[in-house]
A = this chain, B = another copy of it.
């Protein structure tokens, strides 16, 4: 008696009723719920009176019921808040756009509050003509729009020695994904004219830390952007307002914020942030440096320690994110039994180069414990490794580039915790 529909089979129509057969609680089972549920037998207060009309703000903010969806810090992580980091609440988000107010950020000398009218970008060094640009000057060059992830190389760094932090916000939250609008760096460099000896650039920030990183000229001329907008509006102060460098797919630290100068040189500068920091110490005492590309990585964001299963057995959405500094993510595998068996996840949303991708596995949970993992494949064929495989090569004294597979153990009550399995 039912109209034909896109899904086709009768089994889809018993999506939730099927939970009865599985022995779990029934959700949304129609008339039975309707009779007993005060939420629909009584008229809700918001239907009985006029809502806000006079103060829909010039710049809106989230519902008061979302006040737990926030950036968080790990207090013991750094010695002082002036050089610190906060984390994106991945477990509470969905899709591939990170809203600007929730984007993690890391600063080394506090966040500079810059008047854009007074801000300048200088290009000097091995160039034909040193130049100084105002923001207005930069806005006159052709611009482009791209969605890119920015991941701190130290993301998941606390996990090198074992499962430490209880929540994907903390284990994986040094990442965000936004649409940047900016001018290709090559246009600005070409305006100054790169001398033939010019093989490296040193971008420098205008904050108190004056952050610098050496970047090879090939990358500078490839897809680097001098960006002034994120998700449509100006960069946030903590994201480098009014100008930051975008280095697609490469270590977050290189995406210099509060960008004020770019020096062209003939060799790398070997500054603090690429020697003392952002290098990987190996067991034999040697260190790997210039580890620029962020390797393919993924994490299940729900269920996770901060996002327990609250509805009991039956239909369950497993969601997560995957990304690669080398391209797109054509495939993610998910296991619920700690790696004994794997299923291919469903991807949803645009698949963009060097952007986050969203994946899902929709299962019927039987109420038994789960060992959840995800494994990303990127467009180069690279497959996300286990933490064990990484440690075998890099030891446990690394801080950076921990892109190992993450495991959440979920108990029968639906509570998840960060674990490791062999």
Contacts and interface: CB of A to CB of B under 8 A. Distances in A.
Chain A interface size band reads 35 or more
Given A30-B129, A69-B233, A241-B63, A141 B54 contact: no
Nearest to A116: B65
A46 B112 contact: yes
Contact of A96 (B101, B145, B319): B145
Given A50-B110, A53-B83, A110-B52, A39 B119 contact: yes
Interface in A47-80: 47-54, 56-66, 69-72, 80
Nearest to A138: B28
A61 to B, nearest CB: 6
Contacts of A107: 51, 53, 56
A343 interface: no
A405 interface: no
Contacts of A142: 317, 346, 360, 362
A233 to B, nearest CB: 5
A354 to B, nearest CB: 13
A260 to B, nearest CB: 8
A408 B208 CA distance: 43
Interface of A: 1-3, 5-7, 12-13, 15-16, 27-31, 33-34, 37, 39-40, 44, 46-54, 56-66, 69-72, 80-84, 86, 92-103, 105, 107, 109-116, 118-120, 122, 128-134, 136-137, 139-147, 178-181, 186-187, 189-196, 198, 206-208, 210, 217, 221-222, 229, 231-238, 241-242, 258, 310-311, 314-317, 319, 346, 348-350, 352, 358, 360, 362
Given A47-B208, A63-B236, 17 more contacts: A15-B141, A16-B191, A28-B134, A30-B132, A46-B208, A50-B208, A57-B71, A59-B102, A62-B234, A62-B236, A63-B242, A65-B234, A66-B233, A97-B178, A142-B317, A142-B346, A143-B348
